[in-house]
Amino acid sequence: MAAFAWDVHSEEGKDAVVRKPLVALVGRPNVGKSTLFNRLVGERLAIVHETPGTTRDRHYADVEWQGRVFTLIDTGGLMGDLPLDTITEQVQKQAQLAIEEADVIVFITDVLKGVTGADQRIANILRRAEKPIVPAVNKVDNLERGLDLYEFYALGLGEPVGVSALRGLNTGDLLDEIVAALSEVPLEGEVSTGVRVAVVGRTNVGKSSLLNQLLGQERVIVSEMPGTTRDAVDTSITYAGEEVTLIDTAGIRRRGRVERGIEQYSVLRALRAIGRADVVLLVIDALDGVTAQDAHIAGYIVDEFKSVAVLINKWDLVEKDAHTATLFEEHVRYRLKFMPYAPVLFVSALMGQRVDRVLPLAMHLYRERYVHLEDAEVSDMLQEAIARRSPPRGRGKRLVIYEGHQAGVAPPTFAFTVNDKRLVHFDYERYLKNRIRERYLFEGTPLRLTFSNRR
Ligand code: GDP
Ligand code: GDP
């Protein structure tokens, strides 16, 4: 049976949170940002948790170098679908975005083109930023081109690293520079207060309306918590005697200052908030349905092993009959099939409809993250699972699972000892996850399964 190891008031619930730093690649189009991104992510280092269905359009991924893990973002890719901007406007916005949200900025130029006017303008913006900048010159495919680097000193950002994204030259030096710059970034060991909840979603879906409704509820006591990170402001509330921290609410509240329609602002902001959260509330506009951008954010939530609920907002605007909610939920399940465990709640932030269920749901999901199944329960599950469906064969043998137990919580992590972990396929892993969820639902939380070979 499930043993609840979780208690919001215990010391366990007060771990310091170390946020994963964000490193942004910035530069005008065609300097080779996406090539470099793929090179840095694709080679060796990447800890890419490939969640099927979330891979298209990926412009950020985790990279590990010298024991340091950071999230690398190709801001060019993020800006790519922006309509009707001049290139100058695009790159300037991109630079501003990176300054606001990233911890370290890698500024990329092109040795073949030399220093252009657009490069100058970006450099001007970056020079004013109080963030570490790593200048890089790309397309240095051979030694001769390396001689042309001095021209880039004129940008006033320090000594540039010459790299060739195409040929994979000198990228290790670039990573060294990035990691060195990261050491200047405070690790922000925050002390968590209770349940950390992030409200994320595209612009205009109703995040700030929802937030205001939540804060306006009768039982909610609000206190601001300034400065947990540089420019983020969290809001701490007490609800039903429990502490909840709403993450980076300033980003939502001050949205008025940010131009409307620039989805990319919200994406990067969302990534940051998700990284610090236990539970993520993904807000979706009922009139739009689940868009590609929504699925993109959802994919990141899954990759980060965060608990999640999907809030379908503006439900008041939907013409309904007896089947509408069911059909809509099917649509959500289809578009977000990589997180079938996420509860879906239909709300209207404007009318206050079902908003009173949001915080109880978030707290419920938090508890689900900390559920710990006893060893006997997992053994039993495993025996039954193997009896119902034999493990796959491969390499001339059959996968044998000797033992399994829950090795951790938040996210619930199950460790299995096997004969050859190469035989474990996604399919069987998913099968095991489903069997685990038959024993205990773990609502809203992804499960992590690890397999190691028996020595
Ligand atoms: P982005 O617009 O900044 O993301 O640039 P891309 O990554 O799409 O690259 C633009 C062009 O430059 C493509 O044709 C790439 O093949 C090319 N390119 C990228 N990196 C290098 C490099 O290191 N050397 C050379 N010669 N070409 C490169
Ligand atoms: P944000 O950009 O995600 O913070 O979205 P806002 O909270 O600013 O809402 C965007 C627009 O949608 C505003 O005009 C809101 O009044 C409206 N809105 C938000 N929630 C609802 C809702 O539940 N129903 C209706 N009809 N409109 C809503």
Which residue lies with its CA nearest to atom 9 of ligand 1? 32
pLDDT in tens, 213-229: 998 887 777 765 544 44
Q: What is the three-class DSSP state of 90?
A: helix
Percentage, residues of the chain above pLDDT 70:
81
Nearest CA to ligand 1 atom 14: 30
Local structure of 180: helix, strand or coil: helix
Check whether 85 has a pLDDT greater than 70. no
**Mean pLDDT estimate for the chain:** 83
Judged against a pLDDT cut of 90, whether residue 187 lies above it is answered with no
**Spatial contact of 178 and 106, defined as CB atoms under 8 Å apart:** yes
Pick the range with the lowest mean pLDDT from 17-31, 119-133, 369-383.
17-31
- Distance from the alpha carbon of residue 34 to the mean position of ligand 1, in angstroms: 7
Residues 6+ apart with CB under 8 A from 86: none
Contacts of 48 (CB under 8 A, 6+ apart): 41, 61, 62
- Residue ranges around ligand 2 (CB below 6 Å): 201, 203-209, 252, 255, 313-314, 316-317, 348-350
Ligand 1: residue whose CA is nearest its atom 11 = 30
Answer yes or no: is the C-beta of 33 below 6 A from any ligand 1 atom: yes
Q: Which helix (H) or strand (E) holds 436?
A: helix 426-439
The tens digit of pLDDT for each residue in 310-332 reads 999 999 999 999 999 999 999 99
Contact assessment for residue 200 and residue 283, using Cβ atoms and an 8 Å cutoff: yes
What ligand 2 atom has the least distance to the C-alpha of 212?
7
Nearest ligand, CA 265: 2
More confident residue, 249 or 29: 29
Among all bound ligands, the one having the nearest atom to the CA of 294 is 2
Q: How far is the CA of 391 from the centre of ligand 1 (A)?
A: 44
pTM for this entry: 0.72
Rounded to whole angstroms, the Cα distance separating 170 from 215 reads 51
Q: What is the pLDDT of residues 395-405, one digit of tens each?
A: 899 999 999 99
Which range among 71-75, 398-402, 428-432 shows the weakest confidence by mean pLDDT? 71-75
The preferred substitution site among 202, 350, 353, 355 for testing ligand 2, maximizing ligand atoms within 8 Å of CB, is: 350
Nearest residue (CA) to ligand 1, atom 25? 139
Mutate which of 26, 40, 166 for ligand 1? The one with the most ligand atoms within 8 Å of its CB, which is: 166
Residue 270's pLDDT band, with cuts at 50, 70 and 90, is: confident
Element holding 181 (H helix, E strand): helix 171-182
What phi and psi values does residue 407 have, to the nearest 5 degrees?
Answer: -95, -10
Residues 299-315 have a mean pLDDT of 95
